[in-house]
């Protein structure tokens, strides 16, 4: 099952790699949307095929009911919006795609399990994908990377690997660090330190403040929860902070770069608060309970002159796209999976502690970036599988109800 889910991630990544190879402008064309849809169908087919050929061919009805409620809620949103401000008809396709996504990534795995070996194999595949992307980025941007300390604007360079933007690349690096930590918790290998180094170098090159902060949160929380010797973990973190502070103070170039290019105090939230304010105004003018539709909301901000195709916040985007009802439905699943992580922690403290740390890190990340679950496309697939499907499958190992691999 782990390999099937990783194949789904690769399918969803294909349109991005294809657009990066052909032309970034391809990503804004209808053909790109068609390609995303085709890949979504393919990943749905391989999961469904796995389900039909497995020993378990039943699902938990409660999750099917959840999928129906989520879809009906979105259809009500589109109906109300069509009567007032109008909708983008792609939102109708999106509503049914969300039902399919819930079915294949929540309903189907509801009575299945993955073994610890399969869990580790999945995490290994994520780390390998991160390594491939990191090495590709360093090879294709080698000269620019060497001169990064000399740039005067954080947006002068774009270290994106084979992604369309640096945020998507940085997302993968965040997941890769988490996955590498899962592997390292079981069997410590020196080469995994090299993996960490490559990931951190590339995160530094992306200049993604959100991912950098999320990684720090993950490492700090996991060091406190996971380390048996809390004092030892705290001392290591303290020493690292002191060394970094001394390096910044003694190297003016590095100090300037950290302050101007990484922290970027003068840019504030890079326009995020403006987008969030617009999102709140859209809800004020429409419907707080049901929102206006995910794709329709992006059309609205684009008509206002914003070039962004997202609200840079999972919570705001969900609220505007589906209102309070949709946000609550998403939070219900996140709370449910949090309870499953508690089950994992009681039976496998290492994995449970790291997943708890990852959840905190990703929930903070979602405040400032458009992470999504149960949505069509790469980001939705990656986040859904990593934070919903995998912990659900692994926690099923420790429940009394009979399950099948």
Q: Which residue has the higher pLDDT, 243 or 173?
A: 173
pLDDT value at position 231?
Answer: 46
Q: What is the pLDDT at residue 311?
A: 87
Instruction: Dump pLDDT digits (tens) for 136-155.
Output: 999 998 877 777 666 666 55
**pLDDT score of 104 more than 70:** yes
Nearest one of 279, 276, 294 to 73, comparing CA atoms: 294
Stretch 31-46: mean pLDDT: 94
Give the pLDDT confidence score for residue 259 in this predicted structure.
Answer: 57
Out of 165-169, 173-177, 291-295, 342-346, which region has the weakest mean confidence (pLDDT)?
Answer: 165-169
Q: Is residue 370 a contact partner of residue 314, using CB atoms and an 8 Å limit?
A: yes
Ramachandran category for residue 268: left, alpha or beta (phi over 0 → left; psi -120 to 50 → alpha): left
**Residue recorded with tokens 């983008």:** 88
pLDDT at 153: 60
Greater confidence (75 vs 405) lies with: 75
Per the structure block, which two tokens stand in for 5?
A: 């889910």
Mean pLDDT of 248-272: 59
232 pLDDT exceeds 60? no
148-152, 170-174, 231-235, 254-258: segment of lowest average pLDDT: 231-235
Give whole-number Cα distances, 6 to 77, 124, 128, 182, 390, in Å: 32, 10, 11, 16, 11
Checking if the pLDDT of 402 tops 50, the result is no
| Cα–Cα distance, 218 to 387 (Å, whole number) | 14
- The 3 state secondary structure assigned to 277-346 is HHHHHHHHHCCCCCCCCHHHHHHHHHHCCCCCCCCCCHHHHHHHHHHHHHHHHHHHHHHHHHHHHHHHHH
pTM attached to this predicted model: 0.88
pLDDT at position 155 is 59
| Position 229 pLDDT exceeds 50 | no
Pick 144 or 243 by higher pLDDT: 144
Q: Is the pLDDT of residue 226 over 70?
A: no
Of residues 303, 302, 297, the one with CA closest to residue 280: 297
Would you state the pLDDT for residue 122? 96
Residue where the block lists tokens 């939102």: 91
Tens digit of each residue's pLDDT (9 = 90 or more) over 347-390: 998 899 999 999 999 999 999 888 889 999 999 999 999 999 99
């Amino acid at each position: 099952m782990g390999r099937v889910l990783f194949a789904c991630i690769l399918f969803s990544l294909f349109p991005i790699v294809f657009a990066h190879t052909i032309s970034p402008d391809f990503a804004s064309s209808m053909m790109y949307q068609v390609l995303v849809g085709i890949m979504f169908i393919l990943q749905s087919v391989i999961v469904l095929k796995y389900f039909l050929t497995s020993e378990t061919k039943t699902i938990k009805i409660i999750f099917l009911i959840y999928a129906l409620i989520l879809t009906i809620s979105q259809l009500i949103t589109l109906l109300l919006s069509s009567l007032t401000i109008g909708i983008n008809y792609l939102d109708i396709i999106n509503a049914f795609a969300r039902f399919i996504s819930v079915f294949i990534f929540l309903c189907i795995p509801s009575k299945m399990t993955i073994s610890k070996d399969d869990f580790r194999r999945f995490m290994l595949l994520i780390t390998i994908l991160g390594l491939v992307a990191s090495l590709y980025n360093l090879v294709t941007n080698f000269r620019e990377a060497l001169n990064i300390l000399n740039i005067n604007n954080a947006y002068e360079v774009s270290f994106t690997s084979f992604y369309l933007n640096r945020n998507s690349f940085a997302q993968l690096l965040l997941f890769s660090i988490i996955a590498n930590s899962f592997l390292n918790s079981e069997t410590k290998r020196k080469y995994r330190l090299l993996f960490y180094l490559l990931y951190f170098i590339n995160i530094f090159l992306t200049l993604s403040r959100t991912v950098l902060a999320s990684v720090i949160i993950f490492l700090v929380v996991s060091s406190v929860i996971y380390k048996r010797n809390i004092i030892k973990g705290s001392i290591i973190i303290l020493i690292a902070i002191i060394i970094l502070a001394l390096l910044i103070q003694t190297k003016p170039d590095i100090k300037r770069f950290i302050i101007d290019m990484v922290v970027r105090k003068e840019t504030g939230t890079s326009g995020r608060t403006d987008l969030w304010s617009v999102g709140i105004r859209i809800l004020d003018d429409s419907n707080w309970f049901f929102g206006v539709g995910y794709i329709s909301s992006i059309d609205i901000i684009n008509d206002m002159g914003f070039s962004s195709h997202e609200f840079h916040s999972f919570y705001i985007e969900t609220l505007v796209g589906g209102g309070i009802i949709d946000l609550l439905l998403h939070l219900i699943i996140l709370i449910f999976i949090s309870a499953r992580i508690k089950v994992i922690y009681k039976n496998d403290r290492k994995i449970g502690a790291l997943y708890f740390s990852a959840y905190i890190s990703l929930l903070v990340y979602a405040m400032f970036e458009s992470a999504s679950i149960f949505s069509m496309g790469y980001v939705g697939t990656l986040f859904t599988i990593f934070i919903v499907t995998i912990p659900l499958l692994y926690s099923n190992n420790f429940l009394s109800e009979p399950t099948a691999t």
